[in-house]
Amino acid sequence: MNIYHIWCDLKPGVGDLTFTEKLARYLGHLKEQGLIEGYRLTRRKLGLAPAGLGEFHLMIEVRGLAQLDTAFDHVAGRREPVEGFHFGVNALVTNATFALYRDFPDPVRHAGEEKF
C-alpha cells in the first residue's frame, strides 16, 4: 500500500467540522470511484509535532502509483462533481505539506541477493 500524506492548517475562521465534512465528501467520492482505497484524518494533540507540520494530518491509501496517478488525473480534469469537492477542501486549508510513503518491506522484496 502507498500512503499519500498531507499535513495542513485551516485558514482563519474555518471550522474544524466544516473541514471534516467537506473532506469526507471529496475523498468519499474518490473512494466510491475506486480511485483511492481509503483515508484517515488525524489532528495534532497537545501541540506535539515537528515544527512546520500542520495541525491536521491526512493519509490517503492507494494500491500503487498507477491508482494514485489515475486519481490525480481525475481531479486534474476539473470537471464536476470532483472539481467542487476538491475546491471545497482546498479553499479551507493553508500551509499544506505533502509526502508519499509505502509499506515496508515491499511485498515484492526478495532478501539474500542484494548487491548493496
Q: pLDDT tens-digit profile of 24-37? A: 999 999 999 999 99
Q: pLDDT tens-digit profile of 102-115? A: 999 988 888 888 88
The pLDDT score that the predictor gives to residue 107 is 84
Of 12 and 52, the one with more pLDDT: 12
Q: pLDDT tens-digit profile of 34-72? A: 999 999 999 999 999 998 899 999 999 999 999 999 999
Q: Buried b vs exposed e over 38-65: b needs ≥16 C-beta within 10 Å?
A: ebeeeeeeeeeeeeeebbbbbebbbeee
Burial tier of 25 (Cβ tally within 10 Å: 0-12, 13-18, 19+): middle
3-state secondary structure at position 84: helix
3-state secondary structure 13-82: CCCHHHHHHHHHHHHHHHHHCCCCCEEEEEECCCCCCCCCCCCEEEEEEECCHHHHHHHHHHHHCCCCCH
The pLDDT score that the predictor gives to residue 59 is 98
Rounded Cα–Cα distance for residues 30 and 58 (Å)? 14
The pLDDT score that the predictor gives to residue 113 is 87
The pLDDT score that the predictor gives to residue 116 is 79
Q: Is the pLDDT score of 94 beyond 90?
A: yes
Task: Break the chain into its structural domains and give their ranges.
Answer: 17-38+71-105
The pLDDT score that the predictor gives to residue 114 is 85
